């Protein structure tokens, strides 16, 4: 048994789209493989200690809450960057994704600093992009997955030319509604607008993150995790994917 150490950033502020569902999925899927998920909330007054956590989770917040934590997180950019350079995995959803980029320019021109771990920048658009989304992605060469979720964001996120998106949009808006891409992936760091929450209906992504976290813990390669039945997960995924195809956003 290995304890997978998760640092949950600002759970009191960034929790608007059922982020605790993602944590529950990671915990149970770890437990079913004989591991324990040891989750530590990291709030405004807590330090980020490189090496102390195998996986960081940053959820989504409303603008007001996001603003309350943005400067605090930006001040912790160095230790967080060091943790990532040391192989820690990160999942950042919605507001958390924006905060991992270089910054966010609000609708009224106000700037919110980011930590600059992902090569992306976000600016508020004039209307919210809301709806079901379906992506196709390839986190490991030759292994294709679809990811189904829900998006609700006014921010348009632009990737640097050499940045790797999380996936290609099959249905829905994605990063900015026009590029055809969604999210950003760099090594073990994943940022995405997809909530719903993300992991219950996309268990392969949960397992990928757990394997990356275990690799950080052991210092070796990501282990192959014993497959689970996932019958319900597949059903939920199929319905969510169908919703995206039927009624996902179009810009």
184 is catalytic: no
Q: Based on the shown chain and the rule CB under 8 A, indicate whether residue 197 belongs to the binding site for other proteins.
A: yes
Sign of the alpha-carbon torsion through 106, 100, 94, 44: negative
Strands (E), the chain: 3-9, 36-42, 55-58, 89-93, 103-105, 111-113, 120-140, 143-159, 167-171, 181-182, 184-186, 189-192
Taking CB under 8 A as the criterion, the residue among 184, 188, 233, 241 binding other proteins is 233
94 is catalytic: yes
- Please say which residue, 93 or 170, places its beta carbon nearer to other proteins: 93
- Please say which residue, 164 or 233, places its beta carbon nearer to other proteins: 233
Burial of 93 (0-12, 13-18, 19+ CB in 10 A): buried
Strand partners, 95: none
- Tokens at 134, concatenated: 């379906």
Residue range at the interface with other proteins (CB under 8 A); choices 51-59, 62-70, 210-218, 219-227: 62-70
Q: Based on the shown chain and the rule CB under 8 A, indicate whether residue 240 belongs to the binding site for other proteins.
A: yes
Say if residues 19 and 93 touch (Cβ distance below 8 Å).
Answer: yes
Please tell me which residue in 8, 35, 53, 94 is annotated as part of the active site. 94
Q: Based on the shown chain and the rule CB under 8 A, indicate whether residue 74 belongs to the binding site for other proteins.
A: no
Taking CB under 8 A as the criterion, the residue among 76, 81, 105, 128 binding other proteins is 128
- CA gap 57, 109 in Å, rounded: 28
Strand order in the sheet with 89-93: 36-42, 3-9, 55-58, 89-93, 189-192, 184-186
Please tell me which residue in 35, 53, 153, 195 is annotated as part of the active site. 195
Residue range at the interface with other proteins (CB under 8 A); choices 105-113, 163-171, 178-186, 239-247: 239-247
Q: Based on the shown chain and the rule CB under 8 A, indicate whether residue 65 belongs to the binding site for other proteins.
A: yes
- CA gap 33, 9 in Å, rounded: 25
- Tokens at 35, concatenated: 């591991």
- Please say which residue, 67 or 163, places its beta carbon nearer to other proteins: 67
Question: With CB under 8 A, what is the number of residues at the site for other proteins?
Answer: 35
Residues near other proteins (CB under 8 A) are 12-13, 15-18, 20-21, 24-25, 28, 62-65, 68, 128, 130-132, 150, 152, 195-197, 200-201, 232-233, 235-236, 239-240, 243, 247
Just list the catalytic residues: 94, 195
């Amino acid at each position: 048994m290995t304890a997978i150490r998760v640092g949950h950033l600002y759970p009191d502020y960034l929790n608007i789209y059922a982020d605790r569902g993602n944590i529950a999925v990671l915990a149970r899927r770890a437990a079913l493989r004989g591991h324990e998920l040891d989750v530590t909330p990291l709030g405004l007054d807590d330090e980020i200690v490189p090496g102390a956590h195998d996986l960081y989770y940053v959820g989504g917040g409303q603008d007001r809450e996001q603003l309350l934590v943005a400067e605090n997180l930006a001040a912790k950019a160095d230790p967080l960057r060091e943790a990532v350079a040391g192989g820690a995995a990160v999942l950042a959803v919605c507001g958390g994704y924006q905060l991992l980029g270089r910054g966010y320019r609000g609708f009224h021109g106000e700037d919110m600093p980011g930590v600059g771990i992902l090569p992306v920048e976000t600016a508020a658009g004039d209307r919210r992009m809301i709806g079901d989304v379906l992506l196709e992605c390839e986190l490991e060469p030759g292994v294709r997955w679809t990811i189904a979720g829900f998006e609700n964001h006014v921010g348009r996120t632009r990737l640097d030319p050499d940045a790797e998106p999380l996936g290609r949009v099959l249905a829905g808006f994605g990063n900015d509604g026009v590029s055809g891409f969604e999210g950003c992936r760099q090594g073990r760091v994943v940022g995405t607008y997809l909530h719903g929450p993300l992991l219950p209906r996309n268990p392969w992504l949960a397992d990928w993150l757990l394997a990356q976290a275990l690799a950080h813990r052991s210092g070796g390669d990501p282990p192959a995790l014993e497959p689970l039945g996932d019958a319900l997960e597949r059903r939920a995924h199929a319905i969510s994917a169908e919703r995206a195809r039927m009624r996902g956003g179009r810009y």
